Structure 1
Amino acid sequence: MSTRQTVTRLRVTEIFASVQGEASRAGLPTVFVRLTGCPLRCVWCDTEYAFNGGQTRDLSTILDEIASHGLHHICVTGGEPLAQKGCLDLLTALCDAGYDVSLETSGALDIATVDPRVSRIMDLKAPGSGEADKNRWDNLPQLTARDELKIVIANADDYAWACEQLTTHALAARCPVLFSPVAGELAPADLAEWIVRDRLPVRFQMQLHKVLWADARGK
């Protein structure tokens, strides 16, 4: 009896080299693998072009293109990369190949099965996103010191909500926490001043790629 080997295939919007624009790896030359599709529709989303389209590719060809860039840091992003089952295979293959791997994920899908060698950069959606009801709260206990939690903040109400979650769930004791302003909606200086005023145990961040190029080529 013959056995049929399953080939992992993923729908890919783009693969490109840039500098990482967010989290603790900001500024590092990185290869980004942007997978297609997302079950969320955050009102401030800056990668809507990844919701549809893309090209279906075998895992081996994806790995070959990544290797061609000659960089050590790899970021798998979207869209929502975990919406594709093959994403788990991609992450493990990248770790096996010796890369430093991070995953950008919305927090709406289970992160427990992600390879433990991957740094999970997980969102917690504030009310201003329009998708706060999609937060998967049982992901929080899965976070470790090698992961990071990001809250994108659109206004003072979002900030108050984020502060409440910070305390209620002891977020800073789990992993580094990042507060980021929505571009064009909340003045970065206002958020930075609030964080300092309230002595929060979080890192303020801006999207470096938007400062440099005003687009999404760093997340």
Structure 2
Amino acid sequence: MHLIELYKSVQGESSFAGLPCIFVRLAGCNLRCAWCDSEYTFTGGKPFTADEIVREIEALAPCRLVEFTGGEPMLQARELLPLMDRLIHSGYTLMMETSGERPLEDVPVPVHKIVDVKCPGAGSAANSFRMSNLEALTKRDEVKFVLSHREDYEFAKAFIVEHDLNRRVGSILLSPAFSKSPSPIRTTENATLDPRTLVEWMMEDGIDARLSLQIHKFIWEPQKKGV
């Protein structure tokens, strides 16, 4: 497997936000989202065997929450899925951040999938979600929409209703997009959609979803990597 980085920090998003977490960031992505904050993962990386990854994770004990992210981790599914099974059997709680463009039906059931449905504001990556993946979602999973503007919000709202997401998954996340060139100041002014505005829309519509801010970008400087 090709990894960009492996480190321990706090989980910045999802219903696990704020918990200590080990991040395994895999190299490579087949999408190019307009607001992507991890373009450094597109190429490169260092090869690791499964045994080497497990040793790196074990060295960060006692943390037992592990997230696989990228890039797009499912591009390395052949090696990733057996590794996930191995870690689950060793008592780890696993998360995976994925675009939902790759098939998800073979992901081990205990893995908490955070699936990012791309909105119009994602640019060329918009509408890349593989619709058959709806059947692979469970109540332990979460669907995330990164929102740049009102059009994205309306897209997300319609998708949630049309596909009955509240019945399918445990949580729906609405996350304001972040500037690709943020200031070093830890402020919501770096968001391309003001979180206050998003909250006002959510309250007005009574939408059954969770506001999701990337809290690591408020704990550390927004451009800092490995946190």
CA distance in 1 between counterparts of 2:127 and 2:135 reads 18
> Is 1:182 aligned to 2:189, yes or no?
no
Do structure 1's residue 139 and structure 2's residue 144 form an aligned pair? no
Match of 2:145 in 1: 151
Distance in 2, Cα, partners of 1:193 & 1:173? 24
Contact residue 42 and residue 129 of structure 1 kept, 8 A: yes
SS of the counterpart of 1:206?
coil
Superimposed CA distance per residue, residues 3-56 of structure 1 (whole angstroms, 9 cap, x where no aligned partner): xxxxxxx00100000000000100000000000001000010111111111101
CA shift for structure 1 position 217: 4.2
Alignment of 1:51-200 (within 5 A): 51-70=42-61, 71-84=63-76, 85-130=78-123, 131-175=125-169, 176-183=171-178, 184-200=191-207
Asked if residue 15 in structure 1 is aligned to residue 22 in structure 2, the reply is: no
Which stretch of the first structure deviates more once superposed, 168-177 or 207-216?
207-216
User: What amino acid is the match of 1:21?
Assistant: G
Note the residue ranges of structure 2 that are not aligned, 5 or more in a row: 179-190
Amino acid at match of 1:162: A
Which runs of structure 1 show a deviation greater than 3 angstroms over 4 or more consecutive aligned residues?
A: 215-218
Shift of the alpha carbon at 1:208? Answer: 0.6
1:77 and 1:87 map into 2 onto residues whose CA distance is 11
C-alpha deviation, 1:133, in angstroms = 2.9
Q: Secondary structure at the match of 1:140?
A: helix
Q: CA deviation at 1:173?
A: 1.2
What CA distance in whole angstroms lies between the structure 2 residues aligned with 1:78 and 1:92? 19
1:93 shift after superposition: 1.5
Three-state SS of the structure 1 residue aligned to 2:48 is strand
Match of 2:187 in 1: none
CA displacement 1:171-208 (0-9 Å, x = unmatched): 11111111100023111111111111110010111001
Between the aligned partners of 1:148 and 1:161, the Cα distance in structure 2 is 17
Alignment partners' CA distance in 2, 1:45 and 1:93: 31
Q: So what's the TM-score if we normalise by structure 2?
A: 0.90
Which TM-score applies when normalising by structure 1? Answer: 0.93
- What secondary structure sits across from 1:15 in the alignment? strand
Identical counterparts, % of pairs: 41
Please say if residues 37 and 83 of structure 1, whose CA atoms lie closer than 8 Å, have aligned partners that are also in contact: yes
Aligned mates of 2:84, 2:42 — CA distance in 1: 20
Task: Return 82-91 or 56-65, whichever deviates more.
Answer: 82-91
Q: Distance in 2 between matches of 1:48 and 1:89?
A: 27
In 1, the alpha carbon distance for the partners of 2:212 and 2:226 equals 16
1: CA distance, partners of 2:158 / 2:217: 28
Determine if the alignment matches structure 1 residue 204 to structure 2 residue 196: no
